[in-house]
Chain A
Amino acid sequence: MATEKQPPMSERRRFLLQALQGIGLATLGALTWSAYIDEASAASMVLRPPGALSEEDFLAHCIRCGLCVEVCPYDTLRLARAGDNIPIGTPYFIAREIPCYMCKDIPCVPPCPTGALEESLVMKMAKDGHKVFDIGMAKMGIAVIDSDQCVAFWGVQCDACYRACPLINEAIVIDHSRNDRTGKHALLVPRVIGDVCTGCGMCEKACITEKASIFVLPLSVAKGKAGSNYIKGWDEKDEKRLETQKGGGETTTTPTSSQKPVDYLNDEEF
């Protein structure tokens, strides 16, 4: 028996099939492209110039023009190239190679045409009412210490990071304690004050260990978050949060919840 002959294709069917083919191929392209964007914009281990918006907003705003890179007097800033594993064309710096030297006039921020580097994030009101740049407000990252490899924790007297810090004794302080390992000596170890540290990376650059034992991480990587359900006791400002706190949501009921809690410390019976 001969194979059944297909009837000639109707114009309508041909049109619909071609449309379907187009849509299918477009979807294929869109999915591949999406996967790449998702992957490429996920790299968050990157230090941005001072005044940068949060990483997500920064990526949406940066037009990759390199004007901030061009004005940087220390060649700290560079534009990400393909293969650097940083969203391509965006400015960043590697603190161990060239840290941010915290220019007082912050030349890299004003040229930004899009607002990806936002002046108001590094400006404060001066006494005369004018707004002035304050590089101390920058939050490029935060220095983190590896206390296993930092030789100060071994008892070696090194304060390279403390001395290199442009906010000496404010962003890095030296803690003094007894060296229990030897039982004879003192320990003089660095500690980072998170609220003050700008993430400039001069400590990382100065660190004497083979691979830096104090290094700058982006805030999103290095910082934890306590959440709204913890209140710092004996802190009036933080306790105020209790007043504005909305109800805690669920109430758990157990067989014992109907009983009064025993306040044994304040009970006279104790």
Chain B
Amino acid sequence: MEWLKKHQFLILRRLTQISMIVLYFGSHAWGWKVLEGNLGSSLVMGTIPLADPFAVVQMSAAGALLGLDVLIGAAIITLFYAIVGGRAFCSWVCPINMVSDAANGLRRVLRINEVERRVVISRHLRYWVLVLSIALSAIFGVAAFEFISPIGMLNRGLIFGIGFGGAVVAGVFLLDLFGVKNGFCGHLCPLGGLYSLIGRFSVIRVKHNQEKCTLCMKCTAICPEKPVLHMIGKRSEFVAMGECTNCARCIEVCDDDALNFDIRLFKQQNKE
């Protein structure tokens, strides 16, 4: 029971990630109508369109005049993460999260963190990749990141068959395991970058209670976006940086109840 409580959000995240794949697969293989398509663009219950806002931005930069369905779908997704979820896509939906979490877990088991030769990549690199994606889309007239996206390859791969896309996914795993900790999701991925920007002002946030904190620092050890926890042990406040993926691992590892989900409304934020 204790174990369950300590992993409740992790289990929920795996459930959402896997059930989405199952629903997509079911729609392809058996004609289920719950969730059709894939993470690029979907149809919920045969009526509500959803679409990847980053793909839409790239395609528009490429000069495509897109259909209404995909624009509405991208707007729904953008509004949801902007208002509610923050960067939750990355830890609750994206299938690559399971790959990078696996690499991270293995890193801890093998204690690779302790022997690592420091490879320094800026976490801002993803925003440069984001800008570059849009620029290259405009130059070549095709959505540039969609040609190399391991997210798309894994997502489609699990639904339609993966081919050599497996090599790219393995590349992400090896980069995260032996190269840079959280190398792909925390440094390179422009989709994560875009969701960091979109979700900056969302309502659901992790909140730190400094009075309860015993400075054990388990949270910063587990956090895939360590800089967002800069306030630990210093100030009681919301984890406000857009890079936080709301994965809730910090909440789970905290034995002192010093971290919890909370609702951030702007009135409250100003008071603190």
Stretch at the interface among B144-152, B209-217, B253-261: B144-152
> Is B160's CB under 8 angstroms from A115's CB?
no
Residue among A36, A78, A82, A87 with the highest chain B CB neighbour number at 10 A: A82
Residues of A18-70 at the interface with B, using a CB-CB cut-off of 8 Å, are 26, 29-30, 33-34, 36-38, 40-41, 56-57, 59-61, 63-67, 69-70
Known: A37-B142, A38-B140. A63 touches B160 (CB 8 A): no
The verdict on B233 contacting chain A, using a C-beta distance below 8 Å, is no
The verdict on A149 contacting chain B, using a C-beta distance below 8 Å, is no
Known: A34-B140, A83-B164. A89 touches B67 (CB 8 A): no
Whole-angstrom CA separation of A59 from B37 in the bound complex: 18
Per-residue interface assignment for chain B, residues 33 to 56, with 1 indicating a CB less than 8 Å from any chain A CB and 0 otherwise: 000111011110000010110011
**A112 cross-chain contacts in B, Cβ below 8 A:** 67
Would you give the shortest CB distance from A155 to chain B, in whole angstroms? Answer: 43
> Is B70's CB under 8 angstroms from A113's CB?
yes
Which residue in chain A gives the minimum CB-CB distance to B165? A82
The verdict on A103 contacting chain B, using a C-beta distance below 8 Å, is no
The verdict on A185 contacting chain B, using a C-beta distance below 8 Å, is no
Contact of A114 among B28, B63, B66, B164 (CB under 8 A): B66
Residues of B within 8 A of A (CB-CB), count: 52
Residues of A148-191 at the interface with B, using a CB-CB cut-off of 8 Å, are none
Would you give the shortest CB distance from B31 to chain A, in whole angstroms? Answer: 8
Whole-angstrom CA separation of A34 from B152 in the bound complex: 19
Known: A70-B36, A82-B168, A113-B73. A65 touches B163 (CB 8 A): no
> Is B67's CB under 8 angstroms from A84's CB?
no
The verdict on A231 contacting chain B, using a C-beta distance below 8 Å, is no
Which residue in chain A gives the minimum CB-CB distance to B42? A65
**A81 cross-chain contacts in B, Cβ below 8 A:** 153, 156-157, 160-165
Which residue in chain A gives the minimum CB-CB distance to B144? A37
Which residue in chain A gives the minimum CB-CB distance to B46? A111
Residue among A37, A40, A81, A114 with the highest chain B CB neighbour number at 10 A: A114
Per-residue interface assignment for chain A, residues 64 to 108, with 1 indicating a CB less than 8 Å from any chain B CB and 0 otherwise: 111101100000001101111001110000000000000000000
> Is B136's CB under 8 angstroms from A34's CB?
yes
Q: How large is the interface on A (under 10, 10 to 19, 20 to 34, 35 or more residues)?
A: 35 or more
Whole-angstrom CA separation of A33 from B37 in the bound complex: 27
> Is B41's CB under 8 angstroms from A89's CB?
no
Would you give the shortest CB distance from A123 to chain B, in whole angstroms? Answer: 15
Known: A88-B153, A89-B40. A82 touches B144 (CB 8 A): no
> Is A33's CB under 8 angstroms from B144's CB?
yes
**B42 cross-chain contacts in A, Cβ below 8 A:** 65
**B67 cross-chain contacts in A, Cβ below 8 A:** 112-115
Whole-angstrom CA separation of A270 from B165 in the bound complex: 76
**B157 cross-chain contacts in A, Cβ below 8 A:** 81
Please give the residue numbers on chain A whose beta carbons come within 8 Å of chain B beta carbons, in ascending order. 26, 29-30, 33-34, 36-38, 40-41, 56-57, 59-61, 63-67, 69-70, 78-79, 81-84, 87-89, 111-115
Between-chain CB contacts (< 8 Å), 14 pairs? A37-B136, A61-B64, A63-B40, A63-B55, A65-B37, A65-B41, A66-B28, A79-B156, A79-B160, A89-B152, A112-B67, A113-B51, A114-B67, A114-B69
10 cross-chain pairs, A with B, having the tightest CB-CB distances, nearest first: A81-B163, A83-B164, A65-B41, A113-B69, A115-B67, A82-B164, A113-B70, A82-B165, A65-B37, A60-B64
